[in-house]
């Protein structure tokens, strides 16, 4: 019962019965189709816009931009490197951020020593290279 089914499947899938495979020269590869550009829908510049929709979109954009600015000046993670005025923390599974300390950096709780493996919360001023100049470091666990 199984052998007629297998024979029928093999016969149906053979290249000699396929019309496309039989018509093409077996030594020549099929030509690749040319890519067609995807046309994205856009709104014409002269189209009237609802002022309430525009206000809503602008409000959401300002909230998102403000949240990004607040988060750029803060970081939380585990200390992976610390030496004098330089520190690095792991903020995610494969995300790290460099932290620069200065003479006035406040470390809470007072008198705590920073070391690798500690979980910290840092606030300061974000730099253009992605690092953070720390003003305050809170040690949350050791």
Strands 74-83 and 86-92, sheet pairing: antiparallel
Mean pLDDT for 8-24 is 57
Q: Could you tell me if residue 112 is inside a domain?
A: yes
Task: Tell me the whole-structure pTM to 2 decimals.
Answer: 0.52
Range of the domain at 135: 82-141
- Say what the pLDDT of residue 10 is: 67
Residues 79-138 pLDDT 10s: 999 998 999 999 888 889 999 999 999 999 987 889 999 999 999 998 888 899 999 999
List the structure tokens of 86: 């330089």
Q: How far is CA 11 from CA 4, 6, 8, 65, 88, in A?
A: 10, 9, 5, 63, 65
Q: Could you tell me if residue 96 is inside a domain?
A: yes
Q: Which residues partner with 136 through β-bridges? A: 106, 123
- Say what the pLDDT of residue 67 is: 57
Number of structural domains found in the chain: 1
């Amino acid at each position: 019962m199984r052998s007629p089914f297998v024979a029928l499947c093999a016969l149906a899938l053979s290249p000699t019965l396929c019309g496309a495979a039989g018509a093409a020269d077996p030594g020549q590869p099929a030509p690749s189709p040319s890519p067609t550009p995807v046309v994205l829908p856009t709104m014409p510049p002269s189209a009237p816009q609802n002022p309430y929709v525009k206000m809503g979109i602008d409000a959401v954009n300002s909230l998102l931009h403000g949240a990004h600015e607040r988060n750029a000046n803060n970081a939380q993670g585990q200390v992976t490197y610390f030496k004098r005025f330089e520190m690095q923390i792991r903020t995610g599974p494969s995300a790290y951020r460099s932290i620069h300390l200065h003479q006035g950096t406040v470390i809470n709780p007072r008198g705590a020593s920073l070391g690798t493996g500690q979980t910290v919360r840092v606030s300061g001023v974000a730099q253009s290279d992605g690092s953070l100049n720390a003003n305050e470091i809170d040690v949350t666990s050791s």
